[in-house]
Structure 1
């Protein structure tokens, strides 16, 4: 399948544009000043994302953002710092080394994990170990080891009612909405309505698994990065959220992958369908919003995921219900 999603990319801030005060603070975290920084591609942060090396040869990964670039991004970095610090050492995620927060700039320093993002379009030889790693991640994080992680019903309360929002606010379906979805808005809103109960569980979910949020290491591991959205949900929730993106980036049919996957086989089919309906509504409704500052490809990326999620939902509903 040809990818339909644009690259997952924000407008990166060069390392050199960091204020001297921030760079001095990061030098304190690392022990010596940074002498080399290489901006990393992929991901929706509009700030700095760079592998760095210090005077003494120490390596790290630094991400930093200013409220002036995007007013919401600093809060995401703060949430990621809290979540990363609370993750058990058994979780395949980079260790947090330190932070800086002056109220405007927020910077995080992580260990540098040798590795690369999976290829897009997805390749079967890379997707297979990622799917295995998602299984292991769910097992490792059940029961939820982070007591402060919010349940999905709380964390997603403002975002997972997309169909209801479209139904209540749109005087007529916009041409950008899939014709089948536009004709079935009341039904989709009703189908998705019980999503808080459907997604409930005691697994810590990453809740944003995409190709640009994982690294394949030379020794065969899969390391999951970027944890600002972590929440408590059903064991299969991460798999469900990931597969529309995989499909939009040239991967296989999500229904086939989900039903063959250990987490999918153990899931309540009705709960999965309800959660998928809510996920599709989230992507579709958000794709219609104006682009956030510094994130020009976010809305087209969400539209591609919405298209994939809708197609998957129609498959699950079957010919008699789609």
Structure 2
């Protein structure tokens, strides 16, 4: 049963969506919010950006949860932050809220086809917990400035990377002060102090101006694919390290890295192997290398299936997941011995 506060939060969100539709022509209309004319300069303060995020008092607000969505905050008419949408009910809810563009900053490939059934466009810009690099800032800023609003911005849980990307949108699109944007990360989404890089990107990072994004060539890819084997291997390596770290804990969450989820990281790993198999470099490479990538992809697929079963309550699947990961490690070791320099 929903609490009175949760019901009130849901009412405010629905009213906000209705107002947005009335102002801009309804859920099927297309509008682009007027971007902020100038990006505010980087903040100057003593201490950490996380600490500074407490200096701006925000009104209390509870997250919308349900229908396959978690940690959802309607930050403005144009920007909504939350978790990865799970299932048809989640995308139906986003469409009901008037969302037109969904931005995923998670490493896993998004459910583009399912979103499309509800008239939602996906843009996939994976970012890391350490911060948002300059190229990613350009892609995000251009997306906010040039695609149809409202935007729904998500990572996996909707607590760290997604809120940081939404904060960038709040600055470059809504024109809010950087202090307010990082305050929303901390006070609403509860972005962890461990991810100071995400806070400092918004607080003190160079955010691109409108002329810079207008001149930047970007196709708004629905599924991010690494442009080169090196880029894919970086993504693969990060996901592999996360999976290995969680395997050593028998797939239990690591309190030092609260947003890492074994199943999500395994799905990111599988997607990276799939991307590698589609690269011309791999296709033209040795048969052995293609075989190792293929075997690793298959092992990652088995690993993902077992971790999904574990999440659904099959506790014996945890052991089977360890076996699948052991097979994947053996494939990686064979490939590295032959090709890594």
Is this a same-fold pair by TM over 0.5? no
Higher strand share: 1
Q: What TM-score, normalized to structure 2? A: 0.27
| Structure with more contact order per residue of length (Cα contacts < 8 Å, sep ≥ 6) | 1
Normalising by structure 1, report the TM-score. Answer: 0.29
Greater helix percent: which structure?
2
